[in-house]
Amino acid sequence: MTARTRRYLTLFVAALLMPLISCGAPPADEPSTFADSEFLFIPGTMGADPATGDFAEDVAGQFHQVMANINEILEANDMDLSRVAAVNVYLSDVSNFAAMNEVYRTYFPTDPPTRATVAADLPHPDALVQVGMIAVRPDVERRVIVPSGLMSPQLPYSWGIMAGNTLFIAGATSRDPETYQPVTGDIATQTRRVWGNIGEVLSEAGMDYGDLSTCTVFLRDPAEFREMNDAYREFVTDEPPARATVAAELVNELFKIEIQCIAGHGEERSVRMAEGASPPSSPFSPSIAIGNRVFTAGAVGSSPDGVAVGDVEAQTRQVLTNLQATLAAAGSDFGDVNVMYVYLPEIAHEEQVTAILDEVVGTGAARTIVGSALMGPDYLVEIMMIAGGHSEH
């Protein structure tokens, strides 16, 4: 078993133990711990056999093992797959999509969760698929959103899942709302069509663009970032959602962009920004606080002195410094973090970045780490977080 496999399995075991740590008496030398009162955040999970560390040779076999691993986490939290609201599937090769999808639909035969599927570099060289999830705790209502203005997906996902006051929106691509067929065109055309589809989901749930908390943009070609950004800006309010934008290969080669979002209503929503920080020039907020939950934008390793070009350790520490200041502005800190999404242009940096996260943030939060190009050539790491939503156990 390689060192990388052992490290992954250590995080998997930590995910299994988290309900015991969160809801039981804390160790004597540890502070009191808290669990999210509405959601369970499942880390990016690969298809390693926990007993041996081995991976199946094909994506179907690996996906079955992924789901077995995730089911253990769910069962440890008194839940099952029917409680899942949002799924992110990362494939090492987009050509494995059909085989993965065939197996995937057997696990979600009715009322499936929302989903986004892209290709990315994975932390283990033998991994063909990695899956992260957000599940809804049993005492929170989970409801499928079926927009009247959108044709039902022909793939095993729902357009939206409402959980309490939170809406999870599937990764939206440029599809005709009446036929589900691709709407091609330049990046601006596709971005506007994506937003139109997201608007239909929001409307069906009794919300609008002003209720968005966070979005992740998967962009096929980083060179089209500026044009995408101009079209994106047309749909967000003066207090736009937090955002991460990363490069990814999309499942359908006709699509240039996919956007996945979370929205919420019924509680106070506000933009939170680190003290002394200037608003971003791009249409996103450094963080959105809604109720007692905080959604941070993807942070990169820039400081007033610039970027430590080529130094992934320095950039990771600066990213965490930036995020810590943003969380503090929302009355939160790293101890409140539920999940981190970590994007690395060079997946070989995963071990180094993970060690710094363990040191600075700790191992209590779920993590999904993938290899994706970022929107600046000098950036070596981008991290997005969700924190809060806690109730003491």
Numbered ranges of CATH 3.30.1330.40 in the chain: 1-85+98-114+127-135, 141-266, 289-393
> What is the structure's pLDDT at 94?
98
Check whether 109 has a pLDDT greater than 50.
yes
Return the higher-pLDDT residue of 228 and 28: 228
Give the angle subtended at the CA of 131 by the CAs of 320 and 235, to the nearest 5°.
Answer: 65
> What is the structure's pLDDT at 392?
44
| Fold of domain 141-266 | 60s Ribosomal Protein L30; Chain: A; (3.30.1330)
Could you tell me the pLDDT band of residue 361, with boundaries at 50, 70 and 90? Answer: very high
> What is the structure's pLDDT at 389?
74
Check whether 79 has a pLDDT greater than 90.
yes
pTM score of the predicted model? 0.93
> 179-219 pLDDT, tens per residue?
999 999 999 999 999 999 999 999 999 999 999 999 999 99
Task: Name the residue with tokens 């060079």.
Answer: 346
Could you tell me the pLDDT band of residue 1, with boundaries at 50, 70 and 90? Answer: low
CATH no. of 1-85+98-114+127-135: 3.30.1330.40
> What is the structure's pLDDT at 266?
84
Could you tell me the pLDDT band of residue 12, with boundaries at 50, 70 and 90? Answer: low
In this prediction, residues 344-366 reach a mean pLDDT of 97
125 conformational bin, left if phi > 0, alpha if psi -120 to 50, beta if neither: alpha
Mean pLDDT over each residue of the chain, to the nearest integer: 92
For 215-238, give one letter per residue: b (16+ CB within 10 A) or e. Answer: bbbbbbebebbebbbebbeebbee
> What is the structure's pLDDT at 27?
33
> 288-301 pLDDT, tens per residue?
999 999 999 999 99
In this prediction, residues 85-100 reach a mean pLDDT of 98
> What is the structure's pLDDT at 30?
34
Q: Does domain 289-393 have CATH number 3.30.1330.40?
A: yes
